[in-house]
């Protein structure tokens, strides 16, 4: 199948090789072509605009930072909407507000075109391991059309329901993920303050019933010298999703007190100037608040 991919950041750059390995032809676009060079060298074609990507593709994916970026690549004369084939499908994998996703989808529907929201749950690590999962919202027939392509990206694909519901579910999952990682930092800092060596505390957590996939690969980052120079997701990026959860809770009248508490810890990371790190660095905030050097 001819696949288009718009947005070649950390996740996009990991997804494209999986699509090519599944024998799909991929044409990509990114604001900075330099970021696409490794993929071009490995066989990906490059187009001048998102519209040009859509013109040669049966399915077009995008994964970008926020709703403004999605609108920029999806709509307008140079956007995906201007080039998508009549039976083509646009699949946005970005994590944005459900209402924003539905509004963009409605513009595609007005032209008789299909758009799905299909955010991916995982990091570059889980993606490379083949363990990423996808949640999909939108027209069921369009989902069934692209499901085999989605399974080339990750083996766990779940159809959630109508347009916007997949990104709503992704926000809920990210809320849980962030609260879990923040609580991990709190627990380890507490154990450290009581005299347990950090390495032993991390090892004990990862061998306990509280262990999880995300803690398995992220938890060791807090050990001396293990914080990656290039974060899987820095504080700013993760806080964007937490703010989406807080706003969704406000709109729906659904309480999210743990999300609010975790968000404050990310504010503290920013205040301490460590927001450029992977967001598991919240552990450092707990240490400093507890008077640990």
* Domains identified in the chain and CATH numbers: 2-161 (3.40.50.720), 169-289 (1.10.1040.10)
* β-bridge mates for residue 231, sequence order: none
Determine the pLDDT at residue 125: 86
Torsion over CA: 41, 44, 49, 50 (sign): negative
Rounded to the nearest 10°, the torsion over CA 50, 51, 56, 57 is 60
Two tokens, residue 142: 């369009």
Does the structure show a pLDDT above 90 at 293? Answer: no
Q: b/e for 23-41, b at 16 or more Cβ within 10 A? A: ebbbbbbbeeeebbeebee
How do residues 10-33 score in pLDDT, each as one tens digit? 999 999 999 999 999 999 999 999
Two tokens, residue 286: 């707990």
Are the beta carbons of 117 and 137 closer than 8 angstroms?
yes
- Residue 146 CA, chain-centre distance (Å), reads 19
Model confidence band, residue 223 (pLDDT cutoffs 50, 70, 90): very high
Determine the pLDDT at residue 278: 96
How do residues 120-179 score in pLDDT, each as one tens digit? 998 888 898 888 999 999 999 999 999 999 999 999 999 999 999 999 999 999 999 999
């Amino acid at each position: 199948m001819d696949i288009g991919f718009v947005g070649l950041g950390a996740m996009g750059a990991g997804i494209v090789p999986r699509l090519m390995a599944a024998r799909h032809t991929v044409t990509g676009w990114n604001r900075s072509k330099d970021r696409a060079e490794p993929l071009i060298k490995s066989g990906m074609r490059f187009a001048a605009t998102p519209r040009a990507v859509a013109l040669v593709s049966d399915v077009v994916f995008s994964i970008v930072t926020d709703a403004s970026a999605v609108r920029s690549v999806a709509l307008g004369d140079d956007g995906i909407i201007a080039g998508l084939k009549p039976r083509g499908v646009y699949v946005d994998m970005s994590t944005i507000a459900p209402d924003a996703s539905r509004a963009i989808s409605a513009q595609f529907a007005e032209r008789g075109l299909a758009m799905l929201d299909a955010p991916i749950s995982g990091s570059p690590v889980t993606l490379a391991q083949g363990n990423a999962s996808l949640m999909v919202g939108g027209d069921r027939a369009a989902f069934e059309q692209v499901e085999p392509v989605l399974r080339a990206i990750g083996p766990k694909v779940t159809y959630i329901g109508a347009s916007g519901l997949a990104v709503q579910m992704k926000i809920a999952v990210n809320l849980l993920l962030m609260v879990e990682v923040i609580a991990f930092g709190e627990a380890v800092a507490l154990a450290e303050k009581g005299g347990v060596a950090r390495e032993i505390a991390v090892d004990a957590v990862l061998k306990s019933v509280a262990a999880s996939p995300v803690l398995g690969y992220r938890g060791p980052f807090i050990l001396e010298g293990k914080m990656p120079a290039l974060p899987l997701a820095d504080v700013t990026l993760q806080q964007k999703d937490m703010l989406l959860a807080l706003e969704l809770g406000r709109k729906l009248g659904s309480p999210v007190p743990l999300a609010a508490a975790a968000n404050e810890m990310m504010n503290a990371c920013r205040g301490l100037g460590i927001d450029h790190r992977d967001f598991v660095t919240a552990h450092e905030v707990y240490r400093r608040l507890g008077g640990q050097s």
